[in-house]
Amino acid sequence: MKNVTFFKYQGTGNDFVMIDNRTEFFPKRNVELIEKLCNRRFGIGGDGLILLENDPTADFKMVYYNADGNESTMCGNGGRCIVSFAHFLEIFSKDTTFNAIDGLHHATINEEGIVALQMIDVAKDTIKKDTDFTFLFTGSPHHVAMVSDITNYNVFEKGKNIRYSDEYKPSGTNVNFVEQLSNDSFKIRTYERGVENETLSCGTGATAVAITMNNLGKTVANKISIQVEGGDVQVSFDQNEEKYYNVMLTGAAKQVFKGEISIE
Ligand SMILES: N[C@@H](CCC[C@H](N)C(=O)O)C(=O)O
């Protein structure tokens, strides 16, 4: 048995077990262990687990696992949380660049702990528009559909059906449902692949929704407020004919607690 120090972080209610793995002690391929640590009854609990590691080309590296124990694509809220964690570990003071599965990310943190995280560019010709949904990749895959009465919408059932539909086999997708609140604000709810449930917030999902709403002409704004179940985030971007770039996801990221757990 080995005692492992961990931290718990949350970004608008998307919560993560955070481990400093700069000494590379963590058994990264142990899917069962990661799933157990993320389990809310048998472990610490979280929508995912994140390792902070050394990186030869950046301040640090983020390795992200979904609650099912598998390493996955980019996590926007996890990205904001690991920036807060790296700041806590005094790896940087005001701005940083880190490596993640989708490449380098630049980020800043202010005195209130608000993190602004640069997300990947999105080429306009990769945005797939269908009659009632849009599909795009913002570091993770996202299906975006507009609905009415989102508060009472059955996100779990509808999201699960789309996530497992033939269209998205074999890897699946995250599924976002959206309702417009004003010219430049939207409320969203997200079913997350790998958590296999609705989460309180999804950063790559909020980014996908903001870009989609602009791309569909629902808003002309380039700074969009996204209300998620766990709070609010902002997404801003620039665009030209080819792509959305300088895409920034901004919101709070907080350390919730520190603990120690024994692993085999
Ligand atoms: N919560 C995340 C998304 C995490 C990855 C996703 N579940 C997937 O496997 O595609 C976010 O904040 O972006």
Q: Which atom of ligand 1 is nearest to the CA of 139?
A: 13
Annotated binding residue at 90? no
Any catalytic annotation for residue 202? yes
192 in any annotated domain: yes
Cα dihedral sign, 81-87-93-98: negative
263 in any annotated domain: no
Q: Which atom of ligand 1 is nearest to the CA of 192?
A: 7
Q: What is the 3-state secondary structure (H, E, C) of 217-228?
A: CCCCCCEEEEEE
pLDDT at 174 over 90: yes
Residues 130 and 109 in one domain: no
The residue-averaged pLDDT of 161-167 equals 98
173 lines ligand 1 (CB under 6 A): no
Annotated binding residue at 246? no
Residues 191 and 157 in one domain: yes
Give the other-Cβ count within 10 Å of 74's Cβ. 22
What's the CA gap between 171 and 157, in Å, rounded?
19
Residues 65 and 163 in one domain: no
> What pLDDT sits at residue 60?
98
pLDDT at 1 over 90: no
pLDDT at 244 over 90: yes
Reported as half-sphere exposure (CB side, CA atoms, 13 A), residue 79 has a value of: 34
145 φ/ψ sector (left φ>0, alpha ψ -120 to 50, else beta): beta
pLDDT at 264 over 90: no
> What pLDDT sits at residue 98?
98
Contacts of 63 (CB under 8 A, 6+ apart): 21, 28, 50, 51, 53, 71, 101
Residues 63 and 133 in one domain: no
Give the CATH number of the domain where residue 91 resides. Answer: 3.10.310.10
Nearest CA owner, ligand 1 atom 3: 75
Residues 44 and 137 in one domain: no
Best mutation site among 17, 47, 49, 72 for ligand 1, i.e. most ligand atoms within 8 A of its Cβ?
72
Residues 87 and 139 in one domain: no
pTM: 0.97
> How many folded domains does the chain comprise?
2
Tell me: the pLDDT tens digits for 198-238?
Answer: 999 999 999 999 999 999 999 999 999 999 999 999 999 99
176 lines ligand 1 (CB under 6 A): no
140 lines ligand 1 (CB under 6 A): yes
The reply to whether ipTM tops 0.95 is: yes
Q: Which helix or strand (DSSP H or E) is residue 128 part of?
A: strand 128-129
204 lines ligand 1 (CB under 6 A): yes
Reported as half-sphere exposure (CB side, CA atoms, 13 A), residue 214 has a value of: 24
> What pLDDT sits at residue 216?
98
Tell me: the pLDDT tens digits for 104-162?
Answer: 999 999 999 999 999 999 999 999 999 999 999 999 999 999 999 999 999 999 999 99
Any catalytic annotation for residue 75? yes
Helix (H, G, I), strand (E, B) or coil at 195: coil
> What pLDDT sits at residue 73?
98
Residues 127 and 200 in one domain: yes
What's the CA gap between 55 and 101, in Å, rounded?
12
Residues 80 and 158 in one domain: no
Structural domain boundaries, residue 12: 2-113
Whether residue 75 contacts residue 69, with contact meaning beta carbons closer than 8 Å, is answered with: no
Distance 142 CA to ligand 1 centre (A): 9
Annotated binding residue at 163? no
